[in-house]
């Protein structure tokens, strides 16, 4: 067996690219003890897809997820535990809590499987890009590749398995690493393969600067304000009559991906319209700020989704995500703002970080009050602290 990888061995792919706080691995093993099982999982998938998903594929996923988790555990991937069982949470579009939690997103999967591949002495050619399939009489008999030095290679094989990931780089703004460019589709289609389900992809509000990160849907629970390049709130300008920004945002707090199935869709539509109208930031996004959000009241209410995910003390870290994302910072004008770590949809009005996130992002926490407009820089990256 030979594995050819365009990126670096054990360090490439979307699976290695941590752009969310944790990886959610869905297994319908009823860890939450609320009557989950493969049939419920399949039903959830088909409901969310509004009957456009292939039930055969949904069944394979639901039935094999448990075995896949055990396989990964066998090779050293750790899933978070709670008491004697697994920690699970109810993710977007799920009717039961079944998302098992891998800290560090999915990096541990690549590390564990890479280590096992090395132990088994499986041949690896990394920094090697497969550019075409060699097909004779309808059979794939090998591939043409380019090595890191640009020298072409022919690799002959009895069987060829393409696992080149998705095609997110066809979008100007995306959450994927630069080498995920749909190469598998581009090679397989001219070779005669039938491609299916290409329309199933996730789009959602994410942060653009100072680092790219998925914007956790539970944070919408704080009712942040979306503003344009001039600091003017714009959501209400693009809503149909009768809909309030609060109602639309409340729905958005229930799921990350864009969905046409509820009124949360008006958030993404409004953002795009604001950008189309020339109201976007220089980076091609918009701003979001939490300055007027009343976190004290919010965190006091344990039924709120944000309370389940985010810690509730200055630097406190509690809840399902073991890393704090929000904490208080005194401004020199006497006001307090809430800092947000490791995220930022687009570009936020206030972009801040926690000590732990700082470690992750290369930033260092500072105890001194931040002045409005202060720009702090470390490792050549800038963080804007903007207060109104």
Ligand X SMILES: Cc1cc2nc3c(=O)[nH]c(=O)nc-3n(C[C@H](O)[C@H](O)[C@H](O)COP(=O)(O)OP(=O)(O)OC[C@H]3O[C@@H](n4cnc5c(N)ncnc54)[C@H](O)[C@@H]3O)c2cc1C
Alpha-carbon gap, residue 155 to 133, rounded angstroms: 10
320 near ligand X (CB under 6 A): no
Q: Name residues contacting ligand X, limited to 279-298 (CB under 6 A).
A: none
Tokens of 342: 């490791």
Q: Is 357 helix (H, G, I), strand (E, B) or coil?
A: helix
222 near ligand X (CB under 6 A): no
Considering only the stretches 49-57, 160-168, 331-339, 370-378, report the one whose residues sit in contact with ligand X under the rule CB under 6 A: 160-168
Q: Is 127 helix (H, G, I), strand (E, B) or coil?
A: coil
Strands ordered across the beta sheet of 139-146:
129-136, 139-146, 152-156
Nearer to ligand X, 175 or 310 (CB): 175
221 near ligand X (CB under 6 A): no
Nearer to ligand X, 4 or 205 (CB): 4
Which listed residue (121, 159, 163, 230) binds ligand X by CB under 6 A? Answer: 163
Nearest distance from residue 207's CB to ligand X, in Å?
Answer: 10
Considering only the stretches 175-183, 216-224, 359-367, 373-381, report the one whose residues sit in contact with ligand X under the rule CB under 6 A: 175-183
Q: Name residues contacting ligand X, limited to 55-94 (CB under 6 A).
A: none
Alpha-carbon gap, residue 266 to 249, rounded angstroms: 9
Which listed residue (175, 340, 357, 370) binds ligand X by CB under 6 A? Answer: 175
Alpha-carbon gap, residue 257 to 357, rounded angstroms: 24
Q: In Å, what is the CA distance from 219 to each residue of 12, 253, 345?
A: 29, 7, 11
Instruction: For residue 210, say if its preceding peptide bond is cis, omega within 30 degrees of 0.
Output: yes
Considering only the stretches 70-78, 179-187, 189-197, 307-315, report the one whose residues sit in contact with ligand X under the rule CB under 6 A: 179-187
Nearer to ligand X, 143 or 337 (CB): 143
Nearest distance from residue 30's CB to ligand X, in Å?
Answer: 19
Nearer to ligand X, 203 or 239 (CB): 203
Binding to ligand X by CB under 6 A, coded x per residue (else -) over 198-217, reads ----------------x---
The number of residues that bind ligand X (CB under 6 A) is: 24
Q: Is 144 helix (H, G, I), strand (E, B) or coil?
A: strand
In sequence order, the β-bridge partners of residue 233 are 227
188 near ligand X (CB under 6 A): no
Helix axes 55-74, 38-48, angle to 10 degrees: 130
Q: Tokens 């792919």, residue?
A: 13
Considering only the stretches 11-19, 79-87, 236-244, 322-330, report the one whose residues sit in contact with ligand X under the rule CB under 6 A: 11-19
14 near ligand X (CB under 6 A): yes
Q: Is 23 helix (H, G, I), strand (E, B) or coil?
A: strand
Nearest distance from residue 114's CB to ligand X, in Å?
Answer: 10
> How is residue 52 annotated by DSSP?
-
Q: Name residues contacting ligand X, limited to 86-145 (CB under 6 A).
A: 106, 129-130
Tokens of 63: 């039935």
Nearer to ligand X, 19 or 270 (CB): 19
Alpha-carbon gap, residue 215 to 340, rounded angstroms: 11
């Amino acid at each position: 067996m030979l594995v050819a990888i365009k990126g670096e061995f054990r360090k490439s792919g979307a699976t290695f690219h941590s752009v969310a706080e944790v990886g959610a691995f869905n297994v319908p093993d009823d860890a939450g003890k609320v009557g989950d099982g493969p049939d419920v999982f399949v039903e959830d998938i088909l409901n969310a897809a509004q009957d456009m998903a292939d039930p055969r594929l949904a069944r394979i996923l639901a039935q094999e997820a448990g075995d896949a988790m055990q396989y990964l555990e066998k090779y050293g991937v750790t899933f978070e535990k709670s008491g004697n069982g697994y920690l699970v949470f109810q993710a977007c579009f799920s009717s039961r809590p079944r998302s098992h939690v891998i800290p560090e997103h999915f990096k541990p999967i690549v590390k564990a499987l890479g280590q096992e591949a090395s132990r088994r002495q499986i041949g690896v050619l990394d920094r090697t890009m497969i550019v075409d399939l060699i097909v004779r009489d309808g059979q794939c008999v090998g591939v043409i590749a380019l090595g890191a030095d640009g020298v072409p290679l022919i690799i002959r094989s009895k069987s060829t398995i393409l696992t080149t990931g998705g095609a997110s780089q066809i979008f100007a703004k995306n959450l994927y690493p630069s080498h995920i460019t749909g190469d598998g589709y581009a090679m397989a289609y001219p070779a005669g393969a039938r491609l299916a389900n290409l329309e199933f992809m996730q789009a959602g509000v994410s942060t653009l600067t100072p680092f790219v990160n998925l914007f956790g849907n539970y944070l919408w629970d704080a009712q942040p304000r979306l503003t344009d390049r001039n600091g003017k709130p714009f959501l209400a300008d693009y809503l149909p009559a009768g809909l309030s920004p609060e109602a639309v945002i409340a729905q958005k707090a229930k799921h990350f991906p864009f969905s046409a199935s509820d009124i949360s869709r008006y958030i993404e539509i409004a953002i795009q319209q604001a950008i189309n109208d020339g109201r976007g930031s220089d980076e091609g996004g918009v701003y979001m700020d939490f300055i007027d959000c009343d976190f004290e009241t919010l965190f006091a209410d344990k039924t709120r989704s944000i309370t389940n995910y985010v810690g509730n003390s200055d630097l406190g870290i509690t809840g399902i995500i073991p890393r704090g994302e929000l904490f208080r910072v005194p401004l020199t004008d006497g006001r307090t703002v809430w800092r947000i770590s490791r995220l930022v949809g687009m570009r936020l009005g206030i972009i801040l970080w926690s000590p732990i996130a700082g470690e992750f992002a290369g930033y260092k926490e500072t105890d001194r009050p931040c002045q409005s407009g202060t720009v702090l820089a470390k490792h050549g990256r800038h963080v804007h602290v903007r207060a109104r």
